[in-house]
Structure 1
Amino acid sequence: MKILVLGAGVLGVSSAWYLARSGHDVTVVERRAGVADETSYGNAGMLSYGYTNPWAAPGIPFKAIKWMLQDLAPIMVSPSALNVNTSAWMLKMLGQCTEDAYRLNKNRMLRISEYSRICFEQLQQDCPIHYDQRHQGTIELFRNQEKMDSIGADLESLRECGVEHRVIDHATCIQHEPALANVAEKFVGGLMFPNDGTGDCRKFTQGLADACRTLGVTFMMDTEVKGLEASGGEVRGVVTSNGRLTADKYVVAMGSYSPMLVNPLGIKLPIYPIKGYSLTLPLLDESKAPQSTVMDEEFKVAVTRFDERIRVGGTAEIASFDLSLKESRRKAADFVVSDLFPGAGDLEQAEFWCGLRPMTPDSVPVIGKTPFNNLYLNTGHGTLGWTMSQGSARLLADIMNERDTEISAEGLSVHRYL
């Protein structure tokens, strides 16, 4: 079967891998010159199988107002982005801020994340890829006891989904991350996810793309996808900057740009481009640096260790498709890495980057069938695209191959919005 995968980020390349392994003739179409050159380029570097939380949660509307008044706000709204589309998406997200919706969405997300962890382990056995990986877990670090004492609902969801985790005290945080001894007065304890990992998503995706090529996958780079042609309940072709392309089946994995492609077909995909920022610092002092990932719970900033670099990811900005780099937006990342790991990396030489996270109102990705019987989606993963990539792609391949899936696909397709 001939399959076109539209998008060469980590979701598109991963989809191509599992489909090619199934014996299909796969072509990946990408407007950029290289794979993983957009959102997959500079993400926080976390494989956060356990640290998986919906954005929409009880109390978030009031917290968001408080955050936006802070100097080091984890979420910001650009006034220029306030329009009908932005407002509609924000209202949908606010509608998910109930106890029942939060519980349902978190369990759906954890279902995919935990499955993705298993798929990652299998992939590394079948196709070893070096991507500055570490497997020493994630610590969600709490700066105050009151917040740490309020995580009971999250712990219950983790237990329900079988996600390994441990609440750890101050001393145990330092045991796992010795550099935190230098700032022992800054935190009270943490939540440890021992199965989480770290690494460079772009390196991983490039390595997986090379593996795809050995299976015969074709990559059409510098090729802009302009539209889909459909009739009779099927997609008939893809209009691109390099001509019309046809296939038996089509996969849309274009992140924040997916809605633009499918909305003209009547598929209203509620994905919004949440802008995220990161810093990548050259390592200066190993003894002062994190060993894995430390997530600062208060500022929602992750500090992640690569081999010779430190990646700092954080700040969410509602700014539509604006990709301008705003120096003021790096304040939170600068502060957290300097506050928790002073002297670990060279801030003067840091690469400052931003990208668009494709976020759904419920934070659950959109995977699987559409109303068109040969069109499939693998998009809308928000901040967890890399974390969920292998589980999502394996699930999608099984759906497209009409096989029994290893996890339930209930509540994951676009049909929950239709």
Structure 2
Amino acid sequence: MPVNLTAPDPASLLPVKGVELGHAEAHVRKPNRKDLLVMRLSPGSRVAGVFTQNRFCAAPVVVCKQHLAKSSGIRALLVNTGNANAGTGEDGLLRARRSCEALAGLLGIADDQVLPFSTGVIMEPLPVERVVAGLPACVENLGEDNWANAAEAIMTTDIVAKACSKQIRIGGNMVTVTGIAKGSGMIHPNMATMLGYIATDAAVAQPVLEAMIRHVVNRSFNCITVDGDTSTNDSLILIASGQAGNAEIAAQDADYVALRDAVTEVAATLAQAIVRDGEGATKFMTIEVEGGKDEAECRKVGYAIAHSPLVKTAFFASDPNLGRILAAVGNAGIADLDVSQVQLFLDDMLVAQNGGRAASYREADGQRVMQQPEITVRVVLGRGDASAAIWTCDFSYDYVKINADYRT
């Protein structure tokens, strides 16, 4: 079960003026489940995106990038689950474009004003006829208060829907930020998460929105990992509808910082929810790395710990075999690391220093901490002032079962 995570209360998900959402059961892969989502944006909305760096990126990712580059204004997003439309060659591109054409026709907009997204099984043809057949139902139930259904419609192996909202005041106007995300396995982002959509009704200039999404993703979705695999379909989209009534944020001033921090808070909540709902997860771990020469080497150490199957399985078993963490730190690729300066903590308990076990550490205390559902691993490198945090989960028997049986 997810670690300290429950489905959001639909009443807590605040409408974003200028953003409507509609869903359908299109039977893309399985019957009787929400698996198709349309988001319609008001004219003048600004959109920014970041995407997977996997070279086998999915057809919808390719089309999204093309449409963002050439469109006069994005007016709709289309998301299907059950099929990733990845590893599908030219045929996959044609099917992604066909879905855009169909939605554009229903909404009376241009094809390149639609951004397509897919998630699910890789290397199988997208059943575009089912997607197209489900679009009228999506359009029919479009509404600004449909965020809870939207969060459910983008789920695959997720157990819990992921969504949250926040409001702040900018220039005397109330501004809303609401986001949804999906992801449970194959999570190790490189500029994005599996699928995430965050919308605000603030008015934001396009260059400022582009800067904002880069800041946000590096402090949220680029700080998580479930299993070290980067998906072919990872995408994060940030939308600013401009309907809140604030003066357009055109520079990185105080209003920009206030909105940026609100969006980052929503994104971090969604990112952590993905890890808490990691496939088979029983533990949520925060890996804090301090005292590095720069943030990059702190992240390198954090990911070395978070990706280690030996570390992750030890946490699942609540086995304080903590030499595995030291081994991961030493294998992080820092050639001049002085291990005698490294300190390791579980929560606030000192485990290792001076190159070995701390004299005060007792294994029974380590086991007690590791039995908790939430644990902080803190590594002090003793090399500088930089720091970074990574969020991850353990590996359980269920992770293997879920991924072994994924297509059945």
TM-score (norm 2): 0.25
Q: Which has the larger radius of gyration?
A: 2
TM-score (norm 1): 0.24
Q: Quick one: higher RCO (CA 8 Å, sep 6+), 1 or 2? A: 1
